[in-house]
Structure formats: structure tokens, C-alpha cells
Amino acid sequence: MSSGADRSLLRSLVSDPMGALGLVLVLLFLAMALFAPWLAPADPVKLDVTQKFQPPSLTHWAGTDQLGRDLLSRIIYGARTAVSIAVTSVGLAGLIGLLLGMIAGYGPRWLDAILVLLFDSLSSLPMILFALAVITVIGPGTSTLILVVVIVSIPGYARLIRAQTLGLSGADFIQAERAMGAGPVRVLLRHLLPNVVGPLVILLSMDIPVVIMLEAGLSYLNLGVRPPTPSWGNILYDGYTSLRSAPYMVLIAGLPLVLSTLGFTFLGEGLRDALDPKLRHGVPR
């Protein structure tokens, strides 16, 4: 049954041109990340100062940077950096958010009140400034990035799950289950979990481009992924410093960032429309 549902989901996703485009872009991007070592024509960190600032050519399709590194290879490996950070942090945040949200929605009221205040406080933090504060304390790097994203994203997920849990815990089948003496863990895992995961997945997929942007942005400020690890943000920064002499660098480095965020957003929209047909319904007049 679930594979049938998946197939129809896929079909309705593909029948929507934007959703299909999103899926293609995301798959391309994931393939780039996954098969980087096979796809990249050169070593992304290999210096060759004699080849610096080469504009795009047949040997270097995307040109080279100020240290003579092959840009195309750096961009392909940059996808790998972006994907690993985005997936790890969003996945981790989703897991913690799921847990906290279910506890808040199903647990005692005092605990709920504390957690809600906590979520409200966390989401009042300006994300980028908070990221900068954490970086000041523990220093820049991949793990700092992941930590920041996890902390800042938890409230969104937890709130969603909490609302869903609250809505469902009044439902007849949950009440019946409780009346029959099912413990909270059983109710949460067997009955609530399958019902709340769908919306969470949509939200997670829509947050991936946000994380990709944050990673690129902070790396651009030299506060994210440390060089020489290739990141789209680092490449943009390198391009920015030589904007006048080598404008092709920023033009090329910005492109994958734009395309991947577009792809994820279109895919997220398509997923939401396919999973939640209520939102799609007609045009009222």
C-alpha cells in the first residue's frame, strides 16, 4: 500500500512542471555531491600558480581561481560540503524537534509551558547574529555550523510536532487506545509518530536550501567551512576579492547556489501540493 502511495506521490510531483524541475535539480545536485570524486576533472585543492585566473576554457570548463585550482572541481566538491552539512544538521534538528514536540504536546502541562517558552526564546534569536555569537565562542568550522542550525531550527519543528500531537491526542482512536491502558510511549511511537512525520518531512525539505544558504553565507564571511575545503561560499569570496579581474568566478560560483536552492524550494512546494491537496484546491471567485 505504501509503495502505491509513493508511486502516486511521484506521479503527481512529476505532473507539476515546477515540482518536476525541482526534482531534477535536486537529483543533479545530490549526484554531484555523491559522485564528486568521479565527476570532478581535477583535484579541488591542488594548487598550480602558473595556471591562476584562467577564464573558462576546454581544459578548465569553469576556469581557475587565484591559486590556479580548477573551479569546476571545487564547485562539485562544494556540493558535497553543502549536502553533508545541510542533511546532517536538518536531520539532527528534525529528530530533536520531533522528540521535544511530542513531549510538549503529550506530556504534562508545566513541561509544555517551559518548552514553549524555550521555543519562543530560541526563535526570537536572529539566526545569523546568533550563529556569529556561537562562532565567536567556539570558533568557526563545520561542527559550529551544524550546531547553530540545529539549535535555531529545533523550535520550528518542535512547534509543528507539538501542534500535530495536541490535535491528534484528542482524536477518538488515541482516546480509545489510552482507555485500553496503552502507556504514553506506546501511544507516541505507534499512533502519533506515523501521523506527524509527513508534515515534518515537508518542512525539513524546505529548510535544506536555508541551510545551504547559511553555510555559503558564513563561509563567504570566512566564518564557516575553513579553507582549503571547497565550499560555494569560499569560492564566492575568492571571486569577490578579484571581482574586477576575474568576474567569471562569482558568476560561476553563484550559479550552483541559486540553482540548488531553487531546486529544493520547487521540490518542497511540489511535495506540499502533492501531499496536502487541500492547499491546491481551485480558485475561489
Partner 1 sequence: MLRYAVKRIGLAVVILFTVMLAMYAMVFLVPGDPASLALGPRATPELKALLRERMGLDQPVLSQIWHFFASAATGDLGYDVWSKRPVLDQILEFFPNTLILGALALGWALVAGVALGCLAVVWRGRMIDRLLGVLSVSLISVPAFVVAIYALLVFAVWLRWLPAIGAGTPGDLVSQAKAVILPAFALGVGWVGYIARLVRASMLEVMGENHIRTARAFGLPESRIVLRYALRIAIIPTIAILAVGLGSVLSSAVFVETVFGRPGIGTLITGAVQKRNYPVVMGTVLFMTAFYLFIVTAADLLIARLDPRVRDVFRG
Partner 2 sequence: MTGAVLQIEGLKLDYAVPGGRLHALRHVSLSIKKGEVLGIAGESGCGKSTLAAAMIGLTGANARQSAGTIRLGGQDMASLSEDDRRRLRGRKIAMVFQDPMTAFNPVLTIGGQLTDFQHNIEGLGRAEKRARAQAMLSRVGLSDPALIMGRYPHELSGGMRQRAAIAAALLLQPEVLIADEPTTALDVTMEAQIIHLFRELRDDYDGAMVIVTHHLGVIAELCDRVAIMYAGEVVEEGPVDAIYHGARHPYTRALMACDPAMIEGRTARLPTIGGALPDLRSPPPGCAFAPRCPLATDRCRAEAPPDVQLTAGHRALCHEVRP
Altogether, the residues listed in the chain come to a count of 285
Assess contact for 245 and 53: CB atoms under 8 A. Answer: yes
Give how far the C-alpha of residue 248 lies from the chain's centroid of Cα atoms, to the nearest Å.
Answer: 27
Partner from partner 2, partner 1, none binding residue 126, C-beta < 5-8 Å depending on class? partner 1
Nearer to partner 1, 129 or 180 (CB): 129
* C-alpha cell at position 251: 558568476
Give how far the C-alpha of residue 204 lies from the chain's centroid of Cα atoms, to the nearest Å.
Answer: 7
Partner from partner 2, partner 1, none binding residue 127, C-beta < 5-8 Å depending on class? partner 1
Secondary structure letter of residue 189 according to DSSP: I
Q: Give the footprint of partner 2 on residues 89-108 (CB under 8 A).
A: none
Partner from partner 1, partner 2, none binding residue 77, C-beta < 5-8 Å depending on class? none
Partner from partner 1, partner 2, none binding residue 24, C-beta < 5-8 Å depending on class? none
Spell out where the chain has E strands: none
Q: Residue 82's closest CA among 181, 215, 205?
A: 215
How far apart are the C-alpha atoms of 52 and 93, rounded to whole Å?
A: 41
Which sign, positive or negative, has the C-alpha torsion 201, 205, 206, 212?
positive
| CB 115 to partner 1: min, Å | 12
Nearer to partner 1, 81 or 265 (CB): 265
Assess contact for 78 and 230: CB atoms under 8 A. Answer: yes
285: buried, middle or exposed (CB in 10 Å: 19+, 13-18, 0-12)?
A: exposed
| CB 278 to partner 2: min, Å | 13
By CB under 8 A, residue 282 contacts partner 2: yes
| CB 123 to partner 2: min, Å | 29
Q: Residue 46's closest CA among 65, 69, 63, 64?
A: 69
Q: Residue 146's closest CA among 156, 167, 131?
A: 131
By CB under 8 A, residue 279 contacts partner 2: no
Nearer to partner 1, 40 or 223 (CB): 223
Position among 109, 244, 278, 285 found at the interface with partner 2 (CB under 8 A)? 285
Residues that bind partner 1 (CB under 8 A): 18, 117-118, 120-121, 124-130, 132-138, 209, 213, 216-217, 220-223, 236, 239-240, 243-244, 247, 250-251, 254, 257-258, 261-262, 264-266, 269, 283-285
Partner from partner 1, partner 2, none binding residue 175, C-beta < 5-8 Å depending on class? none
| CB 285 to partner 2: min, Å | 4
By CB under 8 A, residue 283 contacts partner 2: yes
Residues that bind partner 2 (CB under 8 A): 282-285
